[in-house]
Amino acid sequence: MALNQAFLKGEHTAVDIVSYFLQRICRFDPDLGAFLHVLSDRVMSQARQLDLSRAHNRYLGRLAGVPIAIKDNIHVQGELTTCASNFLSNYVAPFHATVTRLIEREGGLILGKTNLDEFAMGSSTENSAYQLTKNPWNLAHAPGGSSGGSAAATSGRLAPLSLGSDTGGSIRQPAAFTGTVGFKPTYGRVSRFGLVAFASSLDQIGPFANGVEDIALLMEVLGHHCAYDATSLPIPPERYRDYLVNSIRGKSVGIPWKFLEGLSDTSYALFSRTLEVLKELGVKIIEVELDRLKYSLAIYYILSTAEASTNLARFDGVRYGKRSKRAKTLDEIYNMSRGEGFGREVKRRILLGTFVLSSGYQDEYYKKAQKVRTLIIEDYKAAFAQCDLIAMPVTPSPAFKLKAIQNPIEMYLQDLYTIGANLAGLPAISLPCGQNAGGLPYALQLVGPQLEDKKVLHFAYQIEQALNLSPFVPPLLDREAGA
């Protein structure tokens, strides 16, 4: 990364780098609303220590001098983790998440905690209990969700890198809306220890950046086995950047055209134009069958809400978080604390999850959904037997206007093309590939087989170089060199 190299060469001090980005946050974040907490004192202290380490020729790390923003459902020891919920407004993390520990070990500088849909439940970051985050490309439009704060921070050059979490598309969809690169690794490739759980079989931490090479660098830091996470894969880290420059000529990409029949004319034209770039790179385009993906939305909202209902049962007003001042009995503590602390969307998903797990309905909904999930996984395996990767849009359309979608079902449909990768535990990336007539970013999604994260990044890098869209800078922000 350029900032890391500039720091290592002595062209900039860590204090100067951090000061620059803190100034940008002061200048632009009042309009964007990307950050919930800016850790100014902490990050400046770390920057001074890093400068001392460089002066004494100590190990500096692969992220030395690089500021990073963290979604506020990922723990930073000694700092608030609110999950953008009133319930956790006073919760201070007693330990580091594995990812934040790894970042600081490699000299990364944590700038602050970013806004999100409450407990990561949403597709617009409008469900935050604290503030509204806006899209740097047009402040009247949503940045996507649930990781909208991290996406807006990176798109707006308030942080060169950021972390989000992806349960059904919550990295890729906001990346698509904000013109950034967003990557969901293979399930288990990046530790979830220290991530506040939404749906444990679907959640995955992943990075945002303004280029694929920076995604690959951060993945080299984050992709380590973690003994504290039972789902962490016991495999060694990989050097993803070593694969980026190789040609993809002779490779093949599958398109599930039947699943994409509902694409609008504009989305179809932008998607098809990107496929032409793949053909120019010598990639063969074939059709693959993923017909069961049409059930993925229903399957996802059965399984994710069931797991959310279970995971959020721990928030009871007894051990931590909000406790209602009106409560007099134990039952009132439970009911009133949750009633006052949780927002409408969280309550809606808890109710739905409790329903599908309830006696008499578990076989009809939850267990049946698990069976269909297995069939979807098998469909992906059959498709990857014919091609290297699968390509599809990230979203049905570019970023929608804030408050434009009030119907929950219509909002859930924003995840239509991203959910399948979570259900199957596959690596997937959102890559900006142009703009619509209104000047809003549009993105391509690449999905790979399990553990083929390097292949997804490899293809994405080659497409990025061929498109030559960099710098992809929002017009509402100044164009000074920031990241």
Q: Report, as residue numbers or ranges, the catalytic residues.
A: 71, 146, 170
What is the residue-wise DSSP string for 291-358?
GGGGGHHHHHHHHHHHHHHHHGGG-SSSSSS---TT--SHHHHHHHHHHHHS-HHHHHHHHHHHHHHS
Closest to 101 (Cα-Cα) out of 184, 213, 9, 205: 205
Answer yes or no: are the C-beta atoms of 153 and 51 closer than 8 Å: no
Provide the terminal-to-terminal Cα distance of the chain, rounded to the nearest Å. Answer: 9
What is the residue-wise DSSP string for 264-292?
-HHHHHHHHHHHHHHHHTTPEEEE---GG
Answer yes or no: are the C-beta atoms of 191 and 145 closer than 8 Å: no
Dihedrals φ, ψ of 176, to 5°? -65, -40
User: 212-243 burial, b for 16+ CB within 10 Å, e for fewer?
Assistant: bbbbbbbbbbbbbebeebeebbeeeebebbeb
Token output for 54? 């460089």
Only one residue has tokens 């395996």, namely 381
Distance of CA 284 to the CA centre of its chain: 29
Closest to 433 (Cα-Cα) out of 374, 376, 391: 391
Answer yes or no: are the C-beta atoms of 394 and 259 closer than 8 Å: no
Closest to 84 (Cα-Cα) out of 123, 115, 110, 38: 115
Give the CA count within 13 Å in the CB-facing half-sphere of 347.
12
Identity (one letter) of the amino acid at 300?
A: Y
Rounded Cα distance, 73 and 7, in Å:
29
Rounded Cα distance, 178 and 176, in Å:
6
